Amino acid sequence: MDRRALLKLGLLGVSGVAAPTLVSAKGSGPAPMAGGLYYTRENPGRWSKKIGGHFPLVEKLQGGKIKVMTSHAMNGYEHYIVKHMLLDKDYNFITERMFDPMKDKVAVSTFDLGSYRGELHVLSVCNKHDTWLNTASV
Ligand SMILES: [Fe+2]
């Protein structure tokens, strides 16, 4: 392979990494990466038998708070939910909650959204089964 071809491949790799930003900038939603880089209930990709234990559920609480639940076992560092993460409508990071599998027996977190309202993307990350996304309106 010549140098020009390698450079072309390198550029393609970079653009692949940047794709979520480009997608969000258009406001067209997460579909292109769903089932690939991250998973959704509709696009579970290679983890189609793992939806129930990995798809994060979102419950609205009073006072602008939410509860995020992933019904996944917390089996020490062997297999657990690493964290929950919140992104705004444009996929900008808002906050996250890291779990300690030696202390946290369930993957449940609560967040105070303050004055934020609108589309909220919620990510749940498993150490074996990757990242799962749910989108809620808050
Ligand atoms: Fe898992």
What is the per-residue pLDDT for 32? 62
Q: How many domains does the chain have?
A: 1
3 state SS of 109:
strand
CA 4 from chain centre, in angstroms, equals 35
Is residue 20 one of the residues assigned to a domain? no
Is residue 51 one of the residues assigned to a domain? yes
User: Mean pLDDT over all residues of the chain?
Assistant: 83
> What is the chain's alpha carbon radius of gyration, rounded to the nearest angstrom?
17
Range of the domain at 68: 28-137
Is residue 10 one of the residues assigned to a domain? no
Segment 39-61, tens digit of pLDDT: 999 999 999 999 999 999 999 99
Q: Which two tokens stand for residue 117?
A: 């309202």
Ligand 1 center to residue 110 CA distance, Å?
Answer: 21
Return the bridge partners of 69, or none: 57, 108
**Cα separation, 77 vs 90, whole angstroms:** 32
DSSP alpha helices (H): ranges in 1-138? 3-26, 51-54
Is residue 74 one of the residues assigned to a domain? yes
Is residue 92 one of the residues assigned to a domain? yes
pTM score, whole prediction: 0.76
Ligand 1 center to residue 18 CA distance, Å?
Answer: 26
Ligand 1 center to residue 133 CA distance, Å?
Answer: 14
Ligand 1 center to residue 9 CA distance, Å?
Answer: 32
Is residue 11 one of the residues assigned to a domain? no
CATH value at residue 54: 2.60.40.730
